[in-house]
């Protein structure tokens, strides 16, 4: 648990050398824990990694609380930590070739979890449901063609609905760079979906 890990962590001072305000940190952690876990889950796609990322993020935040600028949102600071931890995890696993597949569809492992790009509840005909299922599968295939950085941009912008400025701050990149790369990524996804729809129409025409 996070609390157990924090208990054994060395305590540092706040900005300016003041005493460590453990109660303040606990209040900030309690206020943001669920949001941080949800973000870690949507980034990683599974509960074990999300739990590890969340615990490590708060552990690092605790140890370096003196780096936190109190006049800025704590949420943004802790989000930056968990995002960088996720990037480190991707780099580590990328070095372990063929041990982990990031292109596999995400699995739903709990009632309170969230699927990335959840299927819409169209409430229509079986044909509508089939179309929605095919679209979701094509979205997964389109996502599998993206680089790790592109996937992260899509998750932050389209799933977390973060403003470009916040994403730029998280990734230490200019806002213009984030905007242009996300635009290119959206175009790549759109082309893949259009190609898939065209292929589907051709296949359906052959069956007639």
- Residue 208: the pLDDT is 63
Which two structure tokens, joined as six digits, stand for 29? 């952690």
Picking from 198, 75, 86, the residue whose alpha carbon sits closest to that of residue 153 is: 86
pTM for the model: 0.60
- Residue 17: the pLDDT is 42
- Residue 201: the pLDDT is 72
Mean pLDDT of the chain: 74
Say yes or no to pLDDT of 32 above 80.
Answer: yes
- Residue 135: the pLDDT is 52
Q: Cα separation of 163 and 161, whole Å?
A: 7
Local structure of 106: helix, strand or coil: coil
- Does residue 114 or residue 166 have the better pLDDT? 166
Model confidence pLDDT, tens digit, residues 111-129: 333 333 333 343 444 344 4
Q: Which domains are present in the chain?
A: 1-99 (1.10.1740.10), 124-208 (1.10.10.10)
């Amino acid at each position: 648990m996070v609390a157990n890990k924090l208990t054994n962590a060395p305590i540092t001072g706040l900005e300016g050398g003041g005493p460590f305000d453990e109660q303040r940190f606990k209040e900030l952690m309690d206020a943001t824990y669920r949001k941080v876990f949800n973000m870690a889950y949507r980034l990683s796609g599974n509960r074990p990694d999300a739990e590890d990322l969340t615990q490590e993020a708060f552990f690092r935040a605790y140890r370096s609380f003196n780096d936190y600028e109190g006049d800025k949102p704590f949420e943004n600071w802790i989000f930056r930590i968990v995002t960088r931890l996720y990037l480190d995890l991707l780099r580590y696993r990328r070095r372990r070739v063929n041990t982990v597949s990031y292109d596999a569809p995400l699995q739903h492992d709990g009632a309170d979890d969230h699927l990335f790009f959840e299927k819409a509840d169209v409430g229509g005909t079986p044909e509508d449901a089939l179309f929605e299922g095919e679209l979701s599968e094509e979205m997964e295939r389109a996502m599998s063609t993206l680089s790790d950085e592109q996937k992260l941009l899509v998750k932050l912008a389209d799933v977390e609905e973060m403003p470009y400025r916040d994403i730029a701050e998280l990734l230490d990149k200019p806002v213009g760079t984030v905007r242009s790369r996300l635009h290119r990524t959206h175009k790549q996804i759109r082309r893949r979906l259009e190609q898939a729809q065209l292929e589907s129409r051709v296949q359906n025409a052959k069956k007639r």
